[in-house]
Structure 1
Amino acid sequence: MSPFRKIIRFVLPYKKYMALNILFNVLYAIFNVLSVLAFIPLLGILFGKEEKVMSPTKYEGIGKIYKYVSGNLNYKLSQLIDAGGVEQALLYICGLTLILFLGKNIFRYLASYVLSFLQNGCVKDIRNEIYAKFLELPLGYFSDQKKGDLIARTTSDVQEVEVSFLNSFEALVREPLTIVLTLISMLAISVKLTLFVFILLPISGYIISAISKKLKHSALKAQKEMGNTLSILEETIGGLKIIKGFTAEDKAQSKFEKSTYNFYTLMNGVIQRKRLASPTSEFLGTVTIVIILWFGGKLVLGNNSSMQPQEFFGYIGLFYLILNPAKAISAAFYGIQKGNASAQRILEILEAENPIKNKKNATIKEGFNKQVEFKNIWFKYKDEYVLKDFSLKIPKGESVALVGQSGSGKSTLANLLTRFYDVNKGEILIDGVNIKDISKHDLRQLMGIVTQDSILFNDTVYNNISLGTKNTDLEKVTEASNIANAHEFIKDLPEQYNTNIGDSGNMLSGGQKQRLSIARAVLKNPPIMILDEATSALDTESEQLVQTALDKMMENRTSLVIAHRLSTIQKADNIVVLRKGQIVEQGKHQELLDKKGEYFKLVTMQSIN
C-alpha cells in the first residue's frame, strides 16, 4: 500500500468535513460550468445569431440535457426580446451570469472553510500518534536514531504531508468533477470535436507524468538531509561549551553549512521539477487550443455544420475551463509524489516494530513480597554478549551494589530489570514471576529510578517532583523534598515549588538537580529502588548531601545500586563485583577487602586517585 493511502486513514475521523467538502465542490463544479454555458446565448445575441424559439423544449432524458437547457434558455430570451428588445435579454443574461459566478465563489469558499478543519485535525492526530509512538518504542530504537531527524519527521515532514497530501485532496475531488461536467457539456455541443480532444489530452498527460519520475526520490533525499541539519543543530546547542572550549567554531560551521548546501541543492531540483508542471501543462494546453481552433473552425465554416459560431466560442471557453483543473491535478500529482517521501518517513516511525510488548492477559502485580532474581541471563546490544549466564538474587529489603569497570554490564542489569531491553536468554523473576509476564506499567510502578544524569524537564519544581504520581499535593511533595534534602534550597527559590527550573533544570546546580530526582523517587515510594551511579557526577559537598538523602530513601527498601564511587556503598548488604558480564566476587565491604581480590584492587586504585 502506498504511503498516500496509508496516511488517508487519518482523514476518516473527519469524514463529516470530507463529505461537506465534496458536496460544496460538486456545487462549485456545477456553477463553474454553468457560468461558461450562460455566455453562449449572450454571444448569440452579440453576433445576431440568437435562435428564435417559440415554445418550451421538452425533457427527453439526460442524453439530451444540453438541448433541453439551451432550448428553454433561448425560449426565455425570445420572450424577453419580443417584450422589451435585445437590451432586456442582454441584461437578463448578464444578471444570470453574475448569480452563477457568485454561487461558484461562495461554494468554493465553503469547500475551503470545511477543509481547514480536516487538514488541521489530521495534522494534530498525526503528530499525537508520532509522539505516542515515541513513548511506546524501547530505548534501543532511539540509540540508532538522530534526535534532529526524529524532530524533523514530527515537524517538517508532517507539514509537508499537510501541504502536499491534504491540499491535494481538494484538488483531486473538485477538479475531476469540473473536468467531467465540462466534458459532458462539450460532448453535448459537439461529439466529433470532443473525440478529437480526447486524442490530444493523453499525449499531454504522458509528457507531464514523465517529468515527475524522479521527484519522489529527490524529495526523500531532501527530507533526510533536513533531518541531518536539525541533528547537527541539536548537537551544537547541547555541546556549545565543548565547541567553544576547543575553538572548534569553524569546524562546526563548516559541517552545518555543508548540510544546508546539500539541502539547498536537493530542494532546488525538487522545486524546479514541481514548478515545471504548471508552465508545461499551460503550454501543452495552448497547443491543444490552437489545434482545436483549427479543427473546430473547419467544422463551423463547413457547409453542413450544425454548430453555431456562439456554440464554438462557448466550446473554447469550456475547454479553457478544463485547463486550470488539469493544471491543478498535475500540481496535485506532483505534490503527492513529493509528499509520499515525507509520508514514508513518518510511517517508518508509526510502523516501527516494538519488540518489548505486553503479553496477552499479562499478570497484574501490585506489590513486592520476596525477591528479585536474575536467572542465567544472557544479553547483547549488537554482536557481543554484555552479560553471560548471569545469576543473582536480591532478597526483599536488602541493598545490592554492583561495581566494576565500565562496560562490565552494571547499567545493563538495571535496564533489563525495568524492561527497557529484554534478555536474549534466561529470565528475570520478581516473586517467582517472569517480568515478561507482568504488564510493563505494573512492573515499572514497582520501581523508582535515580540516574547519573538528572533528567529534569522545563517545568516547575512541583511538576518535576510529582512526575509519575497521581492525586498528590504540596504537603506530600514537601515531605519527599525534606527526605531528599531538597527543601532547604527549594524554599529559597523565587517562587519556591512553583519556580520553573528551565531546560533540563539548567537553573539549578548539579547537586540540586540530583536531589530533585531523589525527591521524585521518594514521592513515588516504590518497593524497589534503582540507583544508577547517582553521585558520580557531584562534588564532595553535594555528594555528602545526596548520599544522606539516598541513605534515608533506601531504609528498609530493596535497592539495586550501581556505583562508581566505592565509598558510597560500604553499607550495602551485598556488593557484587562484575567483569565482562560475569560475577567475580560478592560479599560485604569488609569481607571483600579481606579477600584482597578484585574489589580490593578497585578500592585501592580509588584511594590512590
Structure 2
Amino acid sequence: MNQDSGKAFDIRLFKRLMAHTRPYRLTFYGVALAAILLSAFAVATPILLQEIINEAIKKGDGNYLWFLTWLMLGALLGQVVSQLCFSYYANWLGESVIKDVRINLFQHMLGFRMKYFDNSSIGVLVTRAVADMQRIGEIFSQGFFMIVADLLKMLVAALVMLVINWKLALIVFVLLPIILYATRLFQKAMKVAFTEVRAEVANLNSFVQERITGMKIVQLFTRERIESEKFREINEKHQNAWLKTVWYNSIFFPIAEIVSSIAVGLIVWYGGLLNVANIGVNEFGTIFAFILLIDMLFRPLRQIADKFNTLQMGMVAANRVFGILDTNSHIQDVGTIVKENVRGDIRFSAVRFGYLDDEEVLHGISFDVNAGETIAIVGATGAGKSTIINLLNRFYEINSGAIFVDGTNIKEFQLASLRSHIAVVLQDVFLFADTIANNISLKDASISVEAIEEAAKKIGVHEFINSLPGGYGYNVKERGTMLSSGQRQLIAFLRAYVSNPSILILDEATSSVDTYSEQLIQQATEKITEGRTSIIIAHRLATVKKADKILVMDAGRIVETGTHKELLERGGYYSKLYEAQFLAEEVA
C-alpha cells in the first residue's frame, strides 16, 4: 500500500488520478475552455472601467459611455455563463471519475481473499469506498480546475497591470513574494494536517461501525460507560486533527488579507501622489482598475490556498484508495476448467495450512469422500473443522498438499465454477436487508419465486415463510434482525437448497436453532443430501449418527475415522466426545 508522503503535491499520484478522466476528454477540454473564458471576462471588467473613467467620463462622451457600459454588461454576462458551465461540468467530471474509481475499488475488494478481511477494519474499508471517494471528486469540482482557473486569472491580471502601468505593477509585485511564501508554508502544513484528519476519520468510522454492530454485547456486559469514554478519546483526537487545519487557516488568511490591503493602500497613495504632482493626469481610472486587479490577483491566491486544502485532502484520499487498489490479496484464479456437472468426489491429500505464517492449523490431513456420501466432522472447538470448509471453497490458499474434486486439483478450476457446485450453510447466517425471496435467490435471475416456493414446500418451510407479513416479499432488514436465529437458519438452508449444489456443507447449521427449526432442518437434510456429497460439521447427535463416515479431529489432525457405531465400540477420542457432549443431549 502507498504511504502518505510529506510532499505538498504528489505528481505521480496526480497523473494516475487524471488518467481516469480519459473517457471524458471532451468534458475535460470544455471545462478547461470555460476556465480560460472565465479569466478573460473577469479581467475585461477593470479594463473597461479604466476606459470609462479615463476616456468616456473625463471627456463627457455619452455615446462612448453607453458603448462601454454595454461591453461591460456583455463581459459580466459572459463571466456568469462561463462560471455556470465551469462549475457544473467540473462537478460532473468529478462525479463521473469517482463513479468509475468506486466501481473499480468495489470489484477489486470482491476478489480479496478472506485473510485480507480478517486483518482489515470494515469501518476503514467503508470510509475508503464512501467518504474518501467524495474527497477525490472534490479534486475536480473544487480543487484542481478551480486552482487552474484562479492561476489563469492571476496571470492575466498581472500582465494587464504591466501593460497599464508598470510602475504601479512593480509596487504590487514587491508584495507578492510574501504571500507566495506564506502560501507555500501553508500548503506543506495542511498536507500533514489532512493526512492526520483522514486517519482520524477512518478510526472514528471504524469505532462507531463496530460498536453499533456489536451493541448487544456492549449492553449485555454493561460496557456503555467504558465505550463512551473510548469514543470520547477518539472523538477528541478527531477534533484536534481538524483544529490543526483551522489553526493554519486562522494564521494564513489574515496574513493574506493584510498583504492585499497594504497593496491597495500603496497603489492609492502612489497613484494619488502622481495625480497631485500632475505627473499622470489620467491616473484616476488606472487607480480604480488597479484596485480591482489587485483583488483579482490576491483573492484568487487566497482561494488557491483554500482550494489547495481541498486538493490535498483529495490527494490523501486518493492515495489511500489507490493503496487498496494496489493491494494484491487475491486468490490466484488461473484455473481453466469449467464443469457444468460435478459428481462430488472429494480428496484431501496431506493438506497443511495456517491462518498465520508461524502457526499451523492443519497438520497434513488426508481423507476421501465418495460422491453422494455424507460425512460428519466432529471435534473440540479449534480442532480445524471449519478450516476444511474454507479450504475446499478456496477462501484461503493451503501451505502444502492438494485438494481434489472429481480427481481434479481445485486450483485448476475456475474459481467461480468451483464455488458454483458447493453450497454452504454457516452457523452465523448473514442475511441482506432485502426480501426473503432475494435473500434466498441472491437475485439470481434463473431462480424464480415459483421455484423458491416449490423448494420451500419440499423441505417443509413454506408454511413458516407464508406466515410472515408479505410472505416471500417480507423484508428481513439489516442482517436479518427481524427473524429469530432459527428462522434465519431455515432461510440459509433454503438458499443452499435452491442453488442445487453437487456438494453440500452444513457448518454447525443446527447448533443455535430451536427444536422446531431443528426438526425442519433434519427433514430437509435427509432430502437435500440424497444423491449429493454432504459434509456436516455438527454437534447434534441425530445428524452425526446417520453419517456414512465420521472424521474425528483434534488439534488439526484426524485422529479417528469410522461410523458412529464403529467409533463407539473403539472407545477412543470419539467415544469420550460422545459421552461429554452427545450423551447429555440424548438423555435430554
TM-score normalised over the length of structure 2: 0.91
- Which of 47, 57, 60 lines up with 1:37 in the alignment? 47
| 1:428 has 2:403 as partner | yes
Aligned to 1:366: 340
> Aligned-pair distance for 1:467?
1.4
- Which of 13, 27, 34 lines up with 1:24 in the alignment? 34
Amino acid at match of 1:9: A
Higher Rg of the two aligned structures: 1
| 1:377 has 2:351 as partner | yes
> Aligned-pair distance for 1:411?
0.8
Alpha carbons of 1:392 and 1:276: their partners in 2 closer, same or farther (altered >3 Å)? Answer: farther
- Which of 536, 552, 560 lines up with 1:577 in the alignment? 552
| 1:260 has 2:270 as partner | no
Contact 2:44/2:75, CA 8 A, preserved across alignment? yes
> Aligned-pair distance for 1:595?
0.6
> Aligned-pair distance for 1:301?
7.7
Contact 2:34/2:83, CA 8 A, preserved across alignment? yes
Alpha carbons of 1:304 and 1:582: their partners in 2 closer, same or farther (altered >3 Å)? Answer: same
Contact 1:223/1:342, CA 8 A, preserved across alignment? yes
- Aligned counterparts, 1:352-501, within 5 A: 352-359=327-334, 362-369=336-343, 371-382=345-356, 383-467=358-442, 469-501=444-476
Amino acid at match of 1:356: I
> Aligned-pair distance for 1:417?
0.8
Contact 2:111/2:331, CA 8 A, preserved across alignment? no
> Aligned-pair distance for 1:591?
0.8
- Aligned counterparts, 1:236-385, within 5 A: 236-274=211-249, 276-291=251-266, 308-359=283-334, 362-369=336-343, 371-382=345-356, 383-385=358-360
Q: Deviations over 1:380-414 (max 9, x none)?
A: 11120001112222221111221111111111111
- Which of 449, 467, 484 lines up with 1:509 in the alignment? 484
Amino acid at match of 1:106: V
> Aligned-pair distance for 1:275?
5.0
> Aligned-pair distance for 1:144?
1.2
Q: Which moved more, 1:306-315 or 1:458-467?
A: 306-315
> Aligned-pair distance for 1:3?
4.0
Q: Which moved more, 1:450-459 or 1:559-568?
A: 559-568
Aligned to 2:8: none
**Partner SS for 1:104:** helix
Give distance in 2, aligned partners of 1:207 and 1:24: 29
Q: Deviations over 1:120-171 (max 9, x none)?
A: 2233333333322332212111111222222222222222333355311221
Give distance in 2, aligned partners of 1:302 and 1:449: 94
- Which of 120, 141, 158 lines up with 1:166 in the alignment? 141
- Aligned counterparts, 1:211-226, within 5 A: 211-226=186-201
Give distance in 2, aligned partners of 1:143 and 1:278: 45
- Which of 229, 236, 251 lines up with 2:204 in the alignment? 229
- Which of 17, 22, 47 lines up with 1:7 in the alignment? 17
Alpha carbons of 1:604 and 1:273: their partners in 2 closer, same or farther (altered >3 Å)? Answer: same
Contact 2:91/2:137, CA 8 A, preserved across alignment? no
- Aligned counterparts, 1:59-74, within 5 A: none
Alpha carbons of 1:595 and 1:462: their partners in 2 closer, same or farther (altered >3 Å)? Answer: same
Give distance in 2, aligned partners of 1:352 and 1:410: 30
Alpha carbons of 1:438 and 1:198: their partners in 2 closer, same or farther (altered >3 Å)? Answer: farther
- Which of 112, 121, 127 lines up with 1:152 in the alignment? 127
Contact 2:91/2:141, CA 8 A, preserved across alignment? no
Contact 2:147/2:304, CA 8 A, preserved across alignment? yes
**Partner SS for 1:353:** coil
Q: Deviations over 1:249-297 (max 9, x none)?
A: 2222222222222211211112332454433322223334445556667
Alpha carbons of 1:474 and 1:468: their partners in 2 closer, same or farther (altered >3 Å)? Answer: closer
Contact 1:402/1:560, CA 8 A, preserved across alignment? yes
Give distance in 2, aligned partners of 1:352 and 1:484: 43
Amino acid at match of 2:34: F
Give distance in 2, aligned partners of 1:189 and 1:306: 14
Alpha carbons of 1:300 and 1:396: their partners in 2 closer, same or farther (altered >3 Å)? Answer: farther
Alpha carbons of 1:428 and 1:568: their partners in 2 closer, same or farther (altered >3 Å)? Answer: same
Aligned to 2:103: 128
Alpha carbons of 1:580 and 1:299: their partners in 2 closer, same or farther (altered >3 Å)? Answer: farther
**Partner SS for 1:577:** strand
Alpha carbons of 1:480 and 1:441: their partners in 2 closer, same or farther (altered >3 Å)? Answer: same
Give distance in 1, aligned partners of 2:256 and 2:183: 7
Contact 2:144/2:311, CA 8 A, preserved across alignment? no
> Aligned-pair distance for 1:441?
0.8
Q: Which moved more, 1:405-414 or 1:187-196?
A: 187-196
Contact 2:94/2:140, CA 8 A, preserved across alignment? no
Amino acid at match of 1:44: N
Alpha carbons of 1:271 and 1:340: their partners in 2 closer, same or farther (altered >3 Å)? Answer: farther
Q: Deviations over 1:315-359 (max 9, x none)?
A: 443232212222222212222223322222222322221231211
Give distance in 2, aligned partners of 1:527 and 1:239: 36
Alpha carbons of 1:494 and 1:136: their partners in 2 closer, same or farther (altered >3 Å)? Answer: same
Give distance in 1, aligned partners of 2:38 and 2:114: 51
RMSD: 2.5
> Structure 2, unaligned stretches of length 5 or more?
1-10
**Partner SS for 2:134:** helix
Contact 1:4/1:165, CA 8 A, preserved across alignment? no
Contact 1:165/1:335, CA 8 A, preserved across alignment? no
Aligned to 1:73: none
Give distance in 2, aligned partners of 1:493 and 1:253: 38
Aligned to 1:81: none
**Partner SS for 1:214:** helix
Aligned to 1:543: 518
> Aligned-pair distance for 1:605?
0.3
